[in-house]
Amino acid sequence: MIDPQISEWVSQLLRWVHVVAAIAWIGSSFYFIHLDLSLKKREGLPAGVGGEAWQVHGGGFYRMQKYVVAPPELPKELTWFKWESYSTWITGFFLLVWVYYLQADLFTVDPAVRALPGWQAAAIGIGALVVGWLVYDGLCRSPLGRNDAALAVVVFLIIVAAAYAFTLVFSGRAAFLHVGAMIATWMTASVAMVIIPNQKKVVADLLAGRVPDPSLGKAAKQRSTHNNYLTLPVVFLMLSSHYPLAWSSRWSWAIVGLVVIAGAVIRHFYNSRHADRGSPWWTWGVAAACLALAIWLSIAGKPGSAVAAAPQGASAAAVSAAFDDAVLAIQSRCAMCHAAEPAHPGFPIAPKGVRLDTPEEIARHAQAIRIQSVLTHAMPPNNLTGMTPEERQTVAAWLSTLKR
């Protein structure tokens, strides 16, 4: 068994590298989308150049020119952008294994959903990533792939269906993370297996004096467009683990669909502006409506509810008794992890620094307790300590005596 302090550090360092890699990937990808869309045709561009953009950054002026297929002669030094993507996926995969498979009982397996052994949860998760890629890649290569709009609709429906399927086997939190991991796998595998290989084939053809097959470029462009529109939803899904309202809801799979639409239309707004095709402000209206509906679904479909407000003029003694009962429930169901020295194995200190072992600490964390264990059942994780519905009611009864 790994020392929990080392394990905690491995988590933190892996997450650090993963986020830095993702920033590099998304940054370069947003940059190139912007550059590509803002290129302008001008008089006097060299042969083969389709457009040019002038940019200023960090004290210098840049004159970017894009060769539509390739320059007549390839330079010796050519920068390929691929490791930003690969390293994001690789570190993400390690993080998935480290957090969601090696600590499956905390994060992935919810016995109320399905009591899987940890290794089965891992096998289902990794299997889903592989199958998800085969389905997505197959669709893009199939005749459907020639119709961009129809393909987009089918890919969207697959994302929502996968989200629903994951909620049947995993905790809500792990379900969201696996949808994000599935889409992110499409994105990186597209770079590794379509975008870069096709570009290499084009280069090889040009060097050999052959005319490259235009379908190579078209397929790469299609994947790259999907990647662009899927970036924002993936980031939402990856960050969602800390916000249980979205993934605890009965409608969590629909919330995934709404977030995909919202993220995609916001990308569309920026893409249109970069390309000088005006500012489609309607996209913000659509995104706001989708997110408002997502928020509503998260509240309407949450597992728990606060009990009715405390009776008017409840006596001070009744309020104090409600608090004492709640403290008892929390100390018996939460404090084995959330204590200065947790009794539960695997925790060097209270998770996320949240201590719930004294009445003062419990009172201080009232609102967090409301979100994590009354409105949602995110805590205890996968109800490891068997908190009963009555105990949640007891906590809710105390919370209802507080002024918000």
- Which residues would be at the binding site for ligand HEC (CB under 6 A)? 106, 241-242, 330, 333-334, 336-338, 344, 351-352, 354, 356, 365, 368-369, 372-373, 379-381, 384-385, 387
We find the least distance from the C-beta atom of residue 322 to ligand HEC, in angstroms, to be 16
- Record the tokens describing residue 355, joined without a space: 């201590």
* Separation between Cα atoms, residue 83 and residue 236, nearest integer Å: 22
On the 0-12 / 13-18 / 19+ scale of CB atoms within 10 A, 47 is exposed
Among 214, 216, 211, 212, residue whose Cα is nearest residue 198: 216
* Separation between Cα atoms, residue 34 and residue 228, nearest integer Å: 11
CB 220 within 8 A of CB 195: yes
We find the least distance from the C-beta atom of residue 215 to ligand HEC, in angstroms, to be 45
For the chain, the straight-line distance linking the first and the last C-alpha, in angstroms and rounded, comes to: 43
Among 364, 401, 369, residue whose Cα is nearest residue 304: 369
We find the least distance from the C-beta atom of residue 249 to ligand HEC, in angstroms, to be 17
Among 229, 232, 201, 230, residue whose Cα is nearest residue 215: 201
Among 74, 65, 107, 85, residue whose Cα is nearest residue 24: 85
By beta carbon distance, the residue nearest ligand HEC is 334
Q: In terms of CB distance, is 167 or 376 closer to ligand HEC?
A: 376
Q: In terms of CB distance, is 272 or 331 closer to ligand HEC?
A: 331
CB 244 within 8 A of CB 173: yes
Residues in the chain, total: 404
Q: In terms of CB distance, is 188 or 400 closer to ligand HEC?
A: 400
We find the least distance from the C-beta atom of residue 59 to ligand HEC, in angstroms, to be 41
We find the least distance from the C-beta atom of residue 99 to ligand HEC, in angstroms, to be 8
Q: In terms of CB distance, is 267 or 338 closer to ligand HEC?
A: 338
Evaluate the omega torsion of the peptide bond into residue 111 and state whether it is cis, within 30 degrees of 0. no
We find the least distance from the C-beta atom of residue 348 to ligand HEC, in angstroms, to be 11
We find the least distance from the C-beta atom of residue 141 to ligand HEC, in angstroms, to be 38
We find the least distance from the C-beta atom of residue 114 to ligand HEC, in angstroms, to be 19
Q: In terms of CB distance, is 51 or 180 closer to ligand HEC?
A: 180
Q: Which residue has the tokens 């987009």?
A: 152
Q: In terms of CB distance, is 92 or 351 closer to ligand HEC?
A: 351
Q: In terms of CB distance, is 203 or 354 closer to ligand HEC?
A: 354
Q: In terms of CB distance, is 25 or 170 closer to ligand HEC?
A: 170
Angle at 151 between CA 150 and CA 157, to 5 degrees: 95
